[in-house]
Amino acid sequence: MLVQTYKDMLGAKSVIRDLAGAAVERGKEIGYENVFDYSLGNPSVPVPDEFNRSIIRMIGEMDSQSLHGYSPNPGIPEVRDIVAANLKRRFGIPYTREHIFMTSAAASALAHAFRLVTEPGDEIITFAPFFPEYRPYVNLTGAVLKVVKPDTETFQINFDEFEKMISDKTMAILINSPNNPSGIVYSEETVKRLSDVLRAAQKEYSHPIYIISDEPYREIVFDGKEAPCISKYYDNTIMCYSYSKSLSIPGERIGYMAVNPAAEGADLMVSMAVQISRGIGHNCPSSIIQRAVAENIDLTSDLSIYETNMNLIYDKLVELGFTVVRPGGTFYIFPKALEDDAIAFSKKALKYDLVLVPGDSFGAPGFFRMAYCIDTEKVKRSLPVLERFVKEEYGK
Amino acid sequence: MLVQTYKDMLGAKSVIRDLAGAAVERGKEIGYENVFDYSLGNPSVPVPDEFNRSIIRMIGEMDSQSLHGYSPNPGIPEVRDIVAANLKRRFGIPYTREHIFMTSAAASALAHAFRLVTEPGDEIITFAPFFPEYRPYVNLTGAVLKVVKPDTETFQINFDEFEKMISDKTMAILINSPNNPSGIVYSEETVKRLSDVLRAAQKEYSHPIYIISDEPYREIVFDGKEAPCISKYYDNTIMCYSYSKSLSIPGERIGYMAVNPAAEGADLMVSMAVQISRGIGHNCPSSIIQRAVAENIDLTSDLSIYETNMNLIYDKLVELGFTVVRPGGTFYIFPKALEDDAIAFSKKALKYDLVLVPGDSFGAPGFFRMAYCIDTEKVKRSLPVLERFVKEEYGK
């Protein structure tokens, strides 16, 4: 019989998808260039030419079986070596091939990480605002996702709430810095405090508590800064990475899980991930794509447009009187709506062809997300419209 | 804590992997060209040039976001259209886009299919000899894999055993024709009888029983024949396909699940598969690979070498007095060993640099598998060695 769990999920509405759909429909009427669609986190800058050239070169030079043949389950050994060496060089952590497990982007890395360290009934804690997919990702493993309410002043961690939530059932903490949807980057102070709290909790409950660090936005950090590398502060860290954003290749489904060599069980985790793959039908990402990212390990797309867009939008929001935390990275910003009901706010904005996503599904009602991975020219055209919307609807 | 289920799996030995490892080691000593390695089902013929040319052309012509951007969860709509039209044309079944769900090859299609129709505790029946990975694939979903003993005369279905095994808990039947490891193709008679038995069981137990039809070898059928298309005989069929063998691209991880439009719940199943993906971290196969298979939907690699190899090996085995069912397809053959213990038989063969896989893990002790996806020249060189092995060890 068709399984009820999945049948029941079909009814659920996704506000983001509905809005994106509305934007496309409206685009058919007035031209999509006239819809200020801030709904989707789809990278707008092109992949570096070098990436495509690598693919063409490999097709010309490699024999079919080497290029398109089976990759070993944890990924192509040379690719894992290159990823490990890159992480070691950047973060000073002694990763080797044995700690790297190539995955079909971050979703797949997370699916393995959750299953490595939680059994059904165990708890994973995450912090609002958070990527809404975390809920089905975790709950469908049988583990339970617990959400700490946001610190809406800073979107750093609300430690008071967090410490109350930790219990013997807590097996992992799921974090995402730089953060979707807030755009903030956890400060070194936050990461240190988080690590201290967890080390104390590990002692109290006599079992490891792992940080599962979802880092697809790691390369998109503003003001010339770098995001603190979680693994440097906390041994029991499982890093989940995706090249979707850094190389603008979300459709190619490529990323990895990197186990901190100092983590408890680090020597077993990649082999265990191979076993997990058998159960969930994962068998490596595409070989040619694995090789192409490895050949361009130090490259990213030109990500500077996101900072340009952020500054334009942030300045305008401040000018218009919005309460908003300045993003430290990503291509998202997460201001407070001008009325308590962010869904009503977003619906009004839609009349101005501004597509803004209410924060409710991110665990932060009253806020809204703008994904500014769109052309700067369009961002510029949207600002007077934003101003008109605010003035006409809210008299500001 | 690291999850015990996966930790426990680490100890398990894979005879196939051990043998493949031994073959590689021996290859280092005497040159791999002198090891007659019949252990692995890794396609030896190249991908058609057209496939690679499609990739190069798309890189030249398409913009980055269209080529490398997010594919919708069930796959790229045009790709699904092309797959559906191809299946409709070939098999006369009215598939449309709504019945096609693109996957990371057959393993991923199976992972979705199992979860669509079974809850933990439900039973899936399969028939020995069978692909050993079916066991972890099914058991890790929480469902239970029941195995019907082989009909060693024909390797068609042992219906007496099968009918005894069906119960109210039976939610799906997992079949694989053309079959790994036996190489046999289910006859029309077998498929008709299987369908009749299942229709009766559906009535008796008042719930649907789905056939999950794993068809990666569908295009490798000998003597100018075609394998009977299961969906034509039984409505509740979920077809799981992979391009790994037909296009020799196992590393690119591409295939699909095709739901028979007449199946109970056919209109829901692809949407439900999207929900399943969220739980298991699947998010479409690579976009560029999806497009490349769609552009070459009617092509296969030159698969004729497998038939050539089969005939050479089959004739020699018969000449040497082996009991063996002539394969109707695939690149496997599954003869009876010359002693009861096929593991001992394989170990003796190894002394002659013949790598043969004992049938125990396929659910058919006493038999052995040869995967003849290797150069015909090497097959020819191996035959006198096989003869010498048989004469010296078994005095035949």
pLDDT tens by residue, B358-367: 999 999 999 9
pLDDT at B204: 98
* Contacts with B56 from chain A: Cβ below 8 Å: 55-56, 59
Q: Spell out the residues 6+ positions from residue B49 whose beta carbon is closer than 8 angstroms to its own.
A: none
Asked if A140 and B278 come within 8 Å (Cβ–Cβ), the reply is yes
- Residue A10 to residue B271, Cβ atoms within 8 A: yes
Judge: A278–B133 Cβ closer than 8 Å, yes or no.
yes
Tens-digit pLDDT profile for residues A184-206: 999 999 999 999 999 999 999 99
What is the structure's pLDDT at B115? 97
Residue A22 confidence (pLDDT): 84
Chain B touched by A250 (CB under 8 Å): yes
Of residues B138 and A21, more confidence is placed in B138
* pLDDT per residue as tens digits for the range A33-48: 999 999 988 898 999 9
Report the C-alpha gap between A177 and A217 in whole angstroms.
Answer: 7
Residue B102 CB partners (closer than 8 Å, separation 6+): B71, B74, B75, B76, B79, B80, B83, B254, B255, B256, B284, B285, B290
pLDDT band at A14 (very low <50, low <70, confident <90, very high): confident
Give me the pLDDT at residue B22, please: 84
> Under 8 Å CB-to-CB from A181, ≥6 apart: which residues?
A129, A131, A332, A334, A357, A359, A362, A364, A369
What are the residues facing B214 on neighbouring strands? B240
B312 to chain A, minimum CA–CA distance in Å?
Answer: 24
Chain B residues inside the 8 Å CB shell of A250:
68-70
Q: Write the residue in B69, B109, B248 that is nearest to A250 by C-beta.
A: B69
Q: Which residue has the higher pLDDT, A42 or A76?
A: A76
Assigned token pair, A300: 């990213």
A-chain residues near B286 (CB < 8 A): 251-254, 285-286, 289
Nearest CA in chain A to B170: A1
Answer yes or no: is pLDDT of A396 > 80: no
Spell out the residues 6+ positions from residue A221 whose beta carbon is closer than 8 angstroms to its own.
A178, A185, A227, A328, A329
The label of the residue with tokens 């979903």 reads B141
Please name the residues in contact with B206: beta carbons below 8 A apart, sequence gap of 6 or more: none
Say if residues A303 and A248 touch (Cβ distance below 8 Å). Answer: no
Min distance A311 CA to chain B CA atoms (Å): 24
What is the rounded average pLDDT for all residues in chain A?
A: 96
User: How far is residue B105's CA from residue B84's CA, in Å, rounded to a whole number?
Assistant: 16
Q: Rounded to whole angstroms, how far apart are CA atoms A336 and A315?
A: 15
Q: Which percentage of chain A shows pLDDT scores above 90?
A: 92
Q: How many CA atoms lie within 13 A of B391 on its CB side?
A: 7
In contact, A314 and A327? CB cutoff 8 Å: yes
Q: Residue B147 has what DSSP assignment?
A: E
> For residue B19, what pLDDT is reported?
83
- Quick one: angle between helices B49-61 and A49-61, nearest 10? 160
Give the angle A324-A325-A326 at the CA atoms, nearest 5°: 110
**Chain segment A108-166, per-residue pLDDT in tens:** 999 999 999 999 999 999 999 999 999 999 999 999 999 999 999 999 999 999 999 99
β-pair type (B170-175, B123-127): parallel
Mapped onto helix, strand or coil, the DSSP state of residue B291 is helix
DSSP 3-state of A106: helix
| Chain-chain contact of B2 with A111 (C-beta, under 8 angstroms) | no
* CB pair distance less than 8 Å for A108 and B65: no
Model pLDDT, residue B81: 98
Which of A209, A232, A220, A140 is CA-nearest to residue A184?
A: A220
**Which residues of A fall within a CB distance of 8 Å from B6?**
115-116, 272, 275-276
Instruction: Tell me if residue B215 falls in helix, strand or coil.
Output: coil
Mutate to test the interface with A, among B131, B246, B253, B264 (most CBs of A within 10 A): B253
Higher pLDDT, B19 or A53: A53
The backbone region for A153, taken as left when phi is positive above 0, alpha when psi lies in -120 to 50, beta otherwise, is: alpha
Q: In whole angstroms, what is the distance from residue A64 CA to residue A67 CA?
A: 5
A22 or B190, greater pLDDT: B190
Which residue do the tokens 């994106």 mark? Answer: A20
Half-sphere exposure at residue B380, Cβ-oriented, CA atoms within 13 angstroms: 5
Does the distance separating the beta carbons of B284 and A253 come in below 8 Å?
yes
Contact A282 B286 (CB under 8 A): no
The predicted structure's pLDDT at residue A283: 84
Radius of gyration of chain B (CA): 21
Beta carbons of A65 and B52 less than 8 Å apart: no
Nearest CA in chain B to A12: B275
Instruction: Find out whether B200 and B206 touch, Cβ atoms under 8 Å.
Output: no
Q: Angle, to 10 degrees, between the axis of helix A342-350 and the axis of helix A376-394?
A: 110
**Which tokens hold the place of B148?**
């019907």
What does the pLDDT read at residue A16?
A: 76
| pLDDT < 70 stretches in chain B | 13
pLDDT of residue A120: 95
State the best of A2, A37, A260 to mutate against chain B, taking most chain B CBs within 10 Å.
A2
Among B5, B6, B140, B271, the strongest candidate for a mutation testing the A interface, having the largest count of A CBs within 10 A, is: B6
Minimal CA separation from B71 to chain A, in Å:
6
3-state class (DSSP) for residue A153: coil
Q: Quote the pTM value.
A: 0.96
Q: Is any Cβ of chain B less than 8 angstroms from the Cβ of A262?
A: no
Residue A155's Cβ-count burial label (10 Å; 0-12, 13-18, 19+) is buried
Residue B201: which residues within 8 A CB-CB, separation 6 or more? Answer: B166, B170, B209
The CA distance from B64 to B62, in Å, is 6
Q: What is the pLDDT of residue A40?
A: 86
Cα B294 to chain center, whole Å?
21
Give me the count of residues in chain A: 396
Comparing CA positions, the residue from A228, A165, A218 lying closest to residue A192 is: A228
pLDDT value at position A23?
A: 85
**What pLDDT score was predicted for residue B396?**
72
Contact B275 A6 (CB under 8 A): yes
Q: Residue A138 burial by CB count (10 A; 0-12/13-18/19+): exposed, middle or buried? A: buried
Give the model's pLDDT for residue B82.
98
Do A121 and A144 touch, CB atoms closer than 8 A?
yes
**Mutate which of A17, A283, A290 to test chain B, going by most B C-beta atoms within 10 A?**
A283
Total residue length of chain B: 396
Q: Does B65 touch chain A (CB under 8 A)?
A: yes
Q: Choose the closest CB to B265 out of A2, A47, A136.
A: A2
Question: Cβ(A147)–Cβ(A127) under 8 Å?
Answer: yes
The pLDDT score that the predictor gives to residue B24 is 85
Spatial CA neighbour of A222 closest among A373, A328, A372, A371: A328
The pLDDT of residue A347: 92
Query: What pLDDT sits at residue A21?
Result: 82
- Give the model confidence (pLDDT) of B34-71 as tens digits: 999 999 888 989 999 999 999 999 999 999 999 999 88
Residues of B in contact with A248 (CB under 8 A): 64-65, 68
Question: Residue A224's pLDDT is what?
Answer: 97
Give how far A395 is from chain B: nearest CA, Å.
Answer: 39
Integer Cα distance of A52 and B58 in angstroms? 10
Can you tell me which residue has the tokens 């024949």?
A: B225
Chain A positions touching B59 (Cβ under 8 A) are 52, 55-56
Q: Is-contact A325 A336, C-beta < 8 A? A: no
Beta carbon pairs, A and B, within 8 Å:
225
